Amino acid sequence: MNDDLSRLIAQIDAARMGRRAFLNRTAAFGLSAALGTSLMAQDARAQEPRKGGVLRMGIGGGETTDTLDPALADSPVPFNVVRQWGDTLVNVTPDGQIEPRLAESVEGNADGTVWTFGIRQGVKFHDGSDMTVDDVVATMKRHSDENAKSGALGIMQGISDIRADGTNVVFTLATGNADLPFLLSDYHLVIQPKGGVDAPAAAIGTGTYRLTSAEAGVRYAFEKNPNDWDATRGHYDGVEILVINDNTARTSALQSGQVQIVNRVDPKVATLLGRTPGVVVHNVSGRGHYVFIMHTDTAPFDNKDLRLALKYAINRQEMVDKILDGFGGLGNDTPINAAYPLFTPIEQREYDAARAAEHYKASGHDGSPIVLLVADTAFPGAVDAAALFQQSAQAAGIPLEIQRVPDDGYWSDVWNVKPFCASYWGGRPVQDQMYSTAYLSTADWNDTKFRRPDVDALILEARAETDAAKRTDLYDRIGRIVHEDGGTICPMFNDFIDAASDTIAGWVQDPNYEMMGGWASAKTWMA
Amino acid sequence: MHPVVTLVARRVALGLILLWAASVLIFVGTTILPGDVAQAILGQSATPVSLANLREELGLNEPALTRYLDWMGGVLRGDLGTALTNGEDIATAMGRRLGNTLLLAGVAAAIAVPLALLLGIVAVRFRNRWPDRAISTVTLAAISVPEFLLGYLVIYVLAVQWRVFPSLAAVYDGMGWAETLNAIALPVIVLVLAVLGHMMRMTRAAILNVMQAPYIETAELKGLRPIAVIARHAFPNAVAPVVNVVTINLAFLVVGVVVVEVVFVYPGMGQYLVDHVSKRDVPVVQASGLVFAAVYIGLNLVADVVSILANPRLRHPR
């Protein structure tokens, strides 16, 4: 924690973080408010939320092709829209705990195969009807149906049976999964009347705000839900989401006071924006990471020494400084960082040209150029990052050749197809989901073609393990194997960078996702 | 029959044939695009069965000619189909977008066209003196700066620093007229600056061209004031080339303002088309293509007709 604190103080020095953001962050990782205030001298007592006003948010990442069906939400604007009107059974708190929402209680059996969710009673949908156990079951079944094309289908596939039992909903799993509550916190799984089978895009839910008008790719307007079951949230009379995809337009809308909160601040301008009077930049280190991925079943990347050579030949600190402008954390060639609940540190791999050269020599590679495919869409700054990688590899005598390819078709023709390319992972709420999605032999998105039966066994064992200490140990072992042997070169974890007007109070750092995990409108208020 | 009527009728017929040809080109173009529409829609989650189902659903197994005739039949009845991506009725969604685009273009044109003509006339009146030089320099500078930069400049000055106009031009249902005009002020300023130079230069050149004619000398010798000579005698004879340039710029205002739409977050046709192109939403792309073609052809038709009517020899045949 001392490291964290010194990092925060360094950020203040670098004017990256406003006073309020600093206090919020110190609070977020449990630092006492007393210490925070003594450092900052200024008053930061918790204020009483003030009611009223209309919050306008400028969100980048929406298109005219978006729909209101939560199953199909897959980019920032649909995500934020769903968060306004919908609730999930449970939510993951900023410190990684399960918080009951529409479920009041969550209980699993000893081997994690049967999970019972006690459903909150007396909750009303926006159309006035009562939310029932049947609605919950129907919602979950809709997302399990392949025809619904739900983004949560992968999560639901592990569930073999969903049934109502009094005021409970019981999930039966084919194999045990200690993380089921985390999986069901997925933002697609908002409870809709009759599961939304008849009208998936009606946007009727139990959420903080009720949709009043929607124009895809342009604007969404909401008013306060008068029957909200959670009295502690929803301080605004209404919320407007304006779709602003252009970075400059988004930041200038905030500066000119047209919106009070924006998402996805470009790291290159975040420092400058933070110095603007009346604007606070909120950055939080999340689970998203930028990667260069090698197919471990394709020559020359099937050679462990060559993979290690490339891992030692990348300068992670330089990438964080130059690509993320400091708004991010160092990667360590695993998909897991401290934002995960059961994280255990592994010794940080540093840039070491001598060791890289040593491994390169040991690999017996013929010295022909190693081709790295990259496009801007892989992640912001991917092309520049590849150039930095090429430079640092060259210093170790490794010939890296960058091949720039078009954005169009990158995710269908290059990623998961070509043996060495740049990519991005948004991260998952828990280790199991991250490893199951991308490191299990059988996973579709195993984009490093990493196939080790012992790792598969460890992942499955950890999934069903309900003892936290044993699970932590299992994930530590998986992490070390991936770090050493995997095809993932992970130079950095990117921060979520939002910015808000200083009239907005109550901001909490939430590593789950941008915009306080999507709850910015529900939990902040106008000071 | 009056020869003007015949001429105009011929132009209209030509325009319709051109529009039909454009529809064929659009259809063929979107059909021979590399990649399969069904594959593009399903992307990563495609399985052979779902691909076959979707192809069946979209009618992709029909021969191209049948699909073209179906599409044209629908268009003629005013049915543009539904978007593949979100199932919206294209005519409704596009109608709103087209309305927005026409509003922006209309307001910009209502300011830019009279202003350009006026400035052109003033420039001729004071040609090679300081007003002419100032007008030319400013308009040429404005036309030379890329629109997005012009956009950011006006946002920085007028929205962030002075806070006169909003930086976002988001318009939506339920906004009053004053509110709407206030919202679109900045994009209108940028568009006016973007098209002003071209039209003003053309007006100036066209008028200068006829200023050498004998009847201008006659008018001057009659003792008319120079501005009256220009406005009454020179300008009407310079209308044809000016109208052509004006219509090209009007067409640009309708179909070429994607960048301005993005900078000011304006919900117009450009952004609508771009979003759907990137998702391979072919029906929307086809419909947008057809609308853009119709706008171009229609405006050119108007320009032709106006040129014909502006020509006294055609209006009053011997």
Q: What is the pLDDT of residues A440-475, one digit of tens each?
A: 998 888 999 999 999 999 999 999 888 889 999 999
Whether A157 and chain B come into contact, CB under 8 Å, resolves to no
Closest in A149, A216, A256 to B167, CB measured? A256
Q: What is the DSSP string of A281-316?
A: EEEEEEEEEEEEEE-TTSTTTT-HHHHHHHHHT--H
> What are the DSSP E strand ranges found in A155-264?
159-165, 168-173, 209-215, 219-224, 238-243, 261-262
Q: Closest residue of A to B259, CA-based? A: A246
First-to-last alpha carbon distance for chain A, in angstroms, is 30
Angle at A58 between CA A53 and CA A64, to 5 degrees: 120
Phi, psi of A165 (to 5 degrees): -145, 95
pLDDT attached to residue B46? 60
Interface probe with A: pick from B168, B171, B277, B282, most Cβ of A within 10 Å: B168
Q: What are the tens digits of pLDDT across the range A403-454?
A: 998 887 788 788 889 999 999 998 888 899 899 889 999 888 899 999 999 9
Considering only residues 62 to 81 of chain A, which have any Cβ-Cβ distance to chain B shorter than 8 Å?
Answer: 63-67
Name residue A493's beta-bridge partners.
A289, A329
> What CA–CA distance (Å, rounded) separates A495 from A344?
20
- Residue A190, classified by CB atoms within 10 Å of its CB into exposed (0-12), middle (13-18) or buried (19+), is buried
| Structure-block tokens of residue B118 | 């006026």
Structure pTM?
0.82
List chain B residues with CB under 8 Å of A256: 155, 159-160, 163, 166-167
Tell whether B173 lies on the interface with A, counting CB pairs under 8 A: yes
Element (H or E) spanning B55, and its range?
A: helix B48-58
pLDDT score, position A46: 54
Residue A242: pLDDT over 80 = yes
- The answer to whether the CB of B178 falls within 8 A of the CB of B97 is no
Contacts of B174 in chain A (CB under 8 A): 213
Q: Do the chains contact at B170 and A242, CB–CB below 8 Å?
A: yes
pLDDT of res. A18? 45
Q: Exposed (0-12), middle (13-18) or buried (19+): which is A442, by Cβ within 10 Å?
A: exposed
Stretch (H or E) spanning A108? strand A103-108
The answer, yes or no, to whether ipTM is higher than 0.95 is no
What is the structure's pLDDT at B35?
62
Closest in A66, A246, A408 to B263, CB measured:
A246
Top-confidence residue, B196 or A26 = B196
A215: pLDDT strictly greater than 70? yes
CB A471 within 8 A of CB A336: no
Band (pLDDT 50/70/90 cuts) for residue A113 is: very high
Task: Flag whether pLDDT at A67 surpasses 60.
Answer: yes
- Cα distance from A247 to chain B (closest Cα, Å)? 9
Give the minimum alpha-carbon distance from B181 to chain A in angstroms, rounded to a whole number.
16
DSSP code, position A163: E
Q: Is the dihedral of CA A460, A462, A463, A467 positive or negative?
A: positive
Three-state SS for A105? strand
Q: B53, B86, B98: which to substitute to probe chain A, counting the most A Cβ within 10 Å?
A: B86
**Burial tier of B62 (Cβ tally within 10 Å: 0-12, 13-18, 19+):** middle
Task: Return the pLDDT at B42.
Answer: 66
A5's tokens? 């604190």
pLDDT, tens digit, 9 for 90 and up, residues B199-258: 999 999 999 999 888 999 999 999 999 888 988 889 888 888 888 888 889 888 888 788
CA distances from A135 to A79, A122, A190, A228, A281 (A): 21, 13, 10, 17, 40
Cis peptide before A94 (omega within 30 of 0): no
Are the beta carbons of B170 and A213 closer than 8 angstroms? no
Which residues, other chains included, contact B54 with Cβ-Cβ below 8 Å and sequence gap of 6+?
A: B38, B41, B42
Give the lowest-confidence range in A352-356, A377-381, B204-208. Answer: A377-381
Q: Return the sign of the alpha-carbon dihedral for residues A157, A160, A165, A168.
A: negative
Confidence of residue A1 (pLDDT cuts 50, 70, 90): very low
Interchain CB distance below 8 Å, A249 and B93: no
Q: Tally Cβ neighbours within 10 Å of residue A354.
A: 10
Q: Do B168 and A411 touch (CB under 8 A)?
A: no
Please name the residue of chain B whose CA is at the shortest distance from the CA of residue A445. B44
**Predicted local confidence at residue B37, as pLDDT:** 66
Quick one: tokens of B314?
A: 């055609």
Q: What's the mean per-residue pLDDT of chain A?
A: 88
Query: Does A252 contact chain B (CB < 8 Å)?
Result: yes
List the structure tokens of B150. Answer: 């012009």
pLDDT at A47: 66
Please tell me the predicted confidence (pLDDT) of residue B203.
Answer: 92
**Which alpha helices (H) appear in A301-381, and where do they start and end?**
304-312, 316-322, 353-363
Q: How far is B139 from chain A (nearest CA, A)?
A: 25
Find the closest chain A residue to B273 by CA distance: A64
Mutation for B interface: A81, A256, A258, most B CBs within 10 A? A256
- Please tell me the distance from the alpha carbon of residue A55 to that of residue A460, in angstroms, as a whole number: 44
Nearest CA in chain A to B279: A65
Is residue A29 scored above 70 in pLDDT? no
Partner residue opposite B159 with nearest CB, options A245, A256, A259: A256
Q: Decide: helix, strand or coil at residue A334.
A: coil
> What pLDDT is recorded for position A40?
40
What does the pLDDT read at residue B307? 84
Chain centre distance of CA A179: 16
| pLDDT at position A206 | 96
Is residue A242 within 8 angstroms of chain B, CB to CB?
A: yes
Residue length, chain B? 318
Q: Which of A352, A290, A286 is nearest to A319 (CA)?
A: A290
Please name which of A371, A325, A315, A374 lies closest in space to residue A348, comparing C-alpha atoms. A315
Percentage of chain A lying above the pLDDT 90 cut:
71
Which pLDDT belongs to residue A315? Answer: 96
Q: Which residues of A touch B267 (CB under 8 A)?
A: 215, 217-219
CA proximity to A120, closest of A138, A107, A135, A132: A132
- Contact A412/B262, CB-based, under 8 Å? no
pLDDT of amino acid A31 = 40
The answer to whether B85 contacts chain A (CB < 8 Å) is yes
Residue among B239, B217, B202, B229 at smallest CA distance from B315? B239
Q: How deeply is B14 buried, as exposed, middle or buried, from its count of CB atoms within 10 A (0-12, 13-18, 19+)? A: middle
- Count chain A–chain B contacts defined by CB atoms under 8 A: 90
Alpha-carbon distance A174 to A184, whole Å? Answer: 16
Is residue A422 within 8 Å of A373, Cβ to Cβ? yes
∠ CA A72-A77-A83, nearest 5°, is 80
Q: Are A511 and A94 in contact (CB under 8 A)?
A: yes
pLDDT of A44 strictly over 50: no
A149 at interface of B, judged by CB pairs closer than 8 A: yes
- Please state the separation of Cα A209 from the chain's center in Å: 23
Is the predicted pLDDT of residue A35 greater than 70, yes or no?
no
What is chain B's pLDDT, residue by residue, as a tens digit (318 residues)? 677 888 889 989 999 999 999 999 998 888 776 666 676 666 555 667 777 777 777 777 778 888 888 888 988 888 888 887 777 889 988 898 999 999 999 999 999 999 999 999 999 999 899 999 999 999 999 989 998 899 999 999 999 888 899 988 888 877 888 999 999 999 999 999 999 999 999 999 999 999 888 999 999 999 999 888 988 889 888 888 888 888 889 888 888 788 898 889 898 888 888 888 877 788 898 999 999 999 999 998 988 888 888 887 777 766
**B147, HSE (Cβ side, Cα atoms, 13 Å):** 22
With CA atoms as reference, report the closest residue to B158 among B138, B140, B183: B183
**Is the alpha carbon torsion for A311, A317, A321, A322 positive or negative?**
negative
Q: Is A191 helix (H, G, I), strand (E, B) or coil?
A: coil
Contact B275 A65 (CB under 8 A): yes
Looking at chain A from residue 12 to 71, which residues have their Cβ under 8 Å from any Cβ of chain B?
58, 63-67
- How far apart CA A348 and CA A479 sit, in angstroms, is 12
Using the 8-state DSSP alphabet, how is residue A526 labeled?
A: E
Calculate what percentage of chain B has a pLDDT beyond 70. Answer: 95
Gap between the Cα atoms of A149 and A160, Å rounded: 18
| Residue B50: closest C-alpha in chain A | A147
